[in-house]
Amino acid sequence: MKYIAYGVILIIFATLVLPTIIVIGFIPVRSSTVQHSSVKLIKDGKMADFKTVEVKTSNDYNTINVFVVDQNKEVKMNLEDYLVGVVAAEMPADFEMEALKAQAVAARTYALSKEISVGGKGCDLHPGSDVCTDYKHCQAWISDDVMRSRWGDKYNLYRDKIVKAVNDTKDLVIVYNDALIEPAYHAISGGETEDAKNVWQENLPYLKSVPSPGEEVAQKFKTTVTVSSDEFVNRIKSRAPKAKISTKNLLGYIKNIKRTEAGHVLSLNIGGIDFTGTDIQDLFQLNSTNFSFSMRGNNVVINVIGYGHGVGMSQYGANAMAKGGKNFEDILKHYYTGVEIMRIDDLLKIKSAKA
């Protein structure tokens, strides 16, 4: 998913994440162990159109208007009940409790940053609704029935665990300079998160690159995409017909690869045509923009590290931190630089006093 200081966005491709959030940032969980989606933060290739959300006083921020896409209707929900469905969709339920709590706080921050009643702009795809359940645009969300179907005989165990994560962090949000942040998150950073300026061309003080160790256990930490040389050439030319490239000595046509400090490809030249890392990610459906090329016989092998856009909280990194004894506040303050964790009521009081 999603672009914070911005309040959230249109979720990007599931391959980006993001996350993203908001958004989506990976893809929604298809099983209890899948590496999943994120709040995504971009719209039409650019950051969403607002920075940190200056919340306003509200009598009923605990009610959120959710457009449930598979039902094609808006449903009013209690905010905390809604968050149970979000955390269930946005993070594997077998993750550590403190990681689930961190996810709950990030999801709450995202939801409140979108709520019209507290100053958010709502869901631009569904006017009048605060958020929708399309993981490509807002945060993912699943119903209780889907949880039962997905988790089977572990339903009670997993649901109780997620409810506890939400309840134990009730009303807590992530704040920078007395404003809600854009809580970008993604599945797997690849060992170091990205600076937002490299992904969305915005220098956001709380979305800086930080180490994210312990992600190597993730099934999709490293992935490969293999295509024939002919297919590689055809896809490149489908995007850039004037590219001078052939299957003979194919890798020789790939030049000037520029990377961020975290390893993601910013740009490269193929056959005399400049591409962004995102261009190649989209063309070959890669899990991230941290990729490299090699040959295997007549096939091009694209080696990929990480899953998602890499900005903000890494979910697998959060789980590794939790396993190492860190609590949810430690996790959030590691991945979001210089932030505070506070209750939404306290933030509203600060805003009321300044009004």
Per-residue pLDDT reduced to its tens digit, 183-229: 999 999 999 999 999 998 889 999 999 999 999 999 999 999 999 99
Looking at residue 271, what DSSP letter applies? T
Are 68 and 177 found together in one domain? yes
Residue 47 domain-assigned? no
Residue 69 domain-assigned? yes
Are 146 and 234 found together in one domain? no
Are 332 and 293 found together in one domain? no
Per-residue pLDDT reduced to its tens digit, 145-165: 999 999 999 999 999 999 999
Q: How far apart are CA 138 and CA 24, in angstroms?
A: 7
Residue 196 is encoded by which pair of tokens? 């937002």
Phi and psi torsions of 254, nearest 5°: -100, 115
Q: In what order do the strands lie in the sheet with 63-68?
A: 73-78, 63-68, 131-132
The residue segments making up the domain with residue 256 are 222-305
Per-residue pLDDT reduced to its tens digit, 239-276: 999 999 999 999 999 999 999 999 999 999 999 999 99
Please say whether the dihedral angle defined by the alpha carbons of residues 140, 290, 227 and 41, taken in this order, is positive or negative: positive
Per-residue confidence (pLDDT) for residue 353, from 0 to 100: 79
Residue 61 CA neighbour count, 13 Å, CB half: 25
**Number of domains comprising the chain:** 2
Residue 17 domain-assigned? no
- Asked whether the beta carbons of 24 and 17 are under 8 A apart, the reply is yes
Are 81 and 165 found together in one domain? yes
Per-residue confidence (pLDDT) for residue 16, from 0 to 100: 36
Residue 120 domain-assigned? yes
Q: How far apart are CA 288 and CA 264, in angstroms?
A: 8
Q: Which of 92, 20, 91 shows the shortest CA–CA distance to 308?
A: 20
Q: Which of 201, 189, 148 shows the shortest CA–CA distance to 335?
A: 189
Are 294 and 334 found together in one domain? no
User: Position 343: which residue type?
Assistant: R
Looking at residue 16, what DSSP letter applies? B
